[in-house]
Chain A
Amino acid sequence: METHQDQESIIPPANRWIRRVKKIKSNKAGLLGAFIIAGLILVALTADLISPYSYKEQDLTMMNSPPSTEHFMGTDEFGRDVFSRILHGSRISVYVGVVSVGLSVLLGSLLGAIAGYYGGLLDRGLSLITDLTWSLPEILVALLLVAVVGAGVECVIIAIALTYWAQYARLIRGQILMLKNEIYVEATRSLGATDFTILFKHLFPNAIAPVIVAATIGIGQAIVLEATLGFLGMGAQPPTPSWGAMMSNGTAYLFISPWVIIFPGLAMMITVFGFNLFGDVLVDIMDIREDTLK
């Protein structure tokens, strides 16, 4: 494996990426994942154009009607079209997933890099906090944080970002610890490079690959966490459609109109499945050892 990584680092970065794209093309599961993600983004962008009904248009004559040719995923307790609401709900999911994971990667890799690079007491302190945050169930941390910052989409984003950073901090720290003793770092330092240059110009780009993978899978997890918070009534507030809130409202009518719960859940499952498939393939094409991701 080590020799493998050595070979990898000899290949110029540009070629490395070309090779990686080629690898995705030859992997069916990865392609499927990529299609699901692309489809989701497309739906989120064009929800207004492609949805057959408005997401808030109530039709009280059509309350809780089962799937039919008119409403092929049925309607909810206000007679709103479930399919249209799912399409619009993807916006919140994508938005929360991408932004919250983006923020947590930023925070996590910064703290992880500093801890790994400087070591010592700073590392110990940061690592204790990181490990504690990481070992607590994300739903507990997120609930606590939502309680602090309040309900609503932005608050959920902050809560998820503050829950997830630990995972990326651990990854980056481990990578930096491994890389900082390499000869080329010593060489750069002897040429007079500052800590900042070494850390962000040399170490960071080499340490980021496993984080990209973890973040891809993390977006899927964040979407689930957002939905879970929404389900508990702490996510996006009505009338904004979010998958979690849709299912939360649906529980009261579980016996009458189960489609209100089944379809948003399926949408979410396919989404998360897509991110996971794509992430699993990234592990393969970026030549990451699986155990670094645990």
Chain B
Amino acid sequence: MTLLCLENISVEFTTRDGCVEPLNCIGFDLDDGEILGLVGETGSGKSVTAQAIMGLLPFLDGRVSQGRILFKDVDLLSLSESEYQQIRGNRISLISQNPMTSLDPVYRVGNQIVEGLRLHLNISRSDAAKRAKAVMTSLGIANSEKVFSQYPHQLSGGLKQRIVIAMGLCADPELLIADEPTTALDVTVQAQIIELFKKTTRDRHVGLIMITHDLGVIAHLCDKVVVMYAGTVVERGDVATVFKNPRHPYTLSLLGCIPTFGMAQKTLNAIPGNVPSVRTFPSGCRYHPRCFHAKPVCVKHSPETIRTSKGTLVKCHMFSPDWRKDSEKVG
């Protein structure tokens, strides 16, 4: 059954210097218990996507300007703030990017987990504490009894991250969104945490959206992948197919960027140029300034999303029937 479905979502932020649109018509879907990887460079709109699903945009001066977000066939955007509060942290949880700054510095971490639990589950303080400690232990926190009554500044980055994950998991959500949950951690800890995610989502049959720029993590963990570039989804499909048959030039370059251990590569492939900033998104296909195949049509028109023969979806002019006719190249 479809757990979450994003249809043509665009997001606007009002800033001091006018409006920006960090997400333009994106869409993807996810089934119960499935793991979806959201990949892209910094600034591609991954975190904004997470904020949009969580309904956090109003608190950040942003809004969804078009589209629908269906969660179990309910359009989240039609909910009132108090209805949304019933869902946030309860049926959909967010694990934030930066554990260092996502805990309240003046409350004990245990109480911060309990606070969320008691908000959504009708249980006593002591039951909530028991449950929080159990989740902490299952996340590999050895002395959860002690950590429970410590303050955020007394914990290491790894421990804080585990606390943030515990906060996300303890209310037994149906969907978990993890926004680069391992960036702040040591490589060894990263691997542990990823394993943990795999185990907990499989055990509890939780849907997971894993936001990362690490393709290795995606290959290892996810069922589906969504590749984002400059606020658009350029390619999506199941991981095995996309990784075996990447179609979009950007996906190709991304896969080319993974250094393979043991292979003596002469050069490490890097994509020339940078991700454009949200104020200067290019016209037409937003990838065209960095694309080797770009033609005039790429500058003028935004490409349609096309289903490939392998069943993946790709947003690129190269796969439209008209491509061959237009033979002139740009640059």
Chains A and B touch each other in the complex, with CB atoms below 8 Å apart: no
* Interface positions of A (Cβ within 8 A of B): none
* Interface positions of B (Cβ within 8 A of A): none
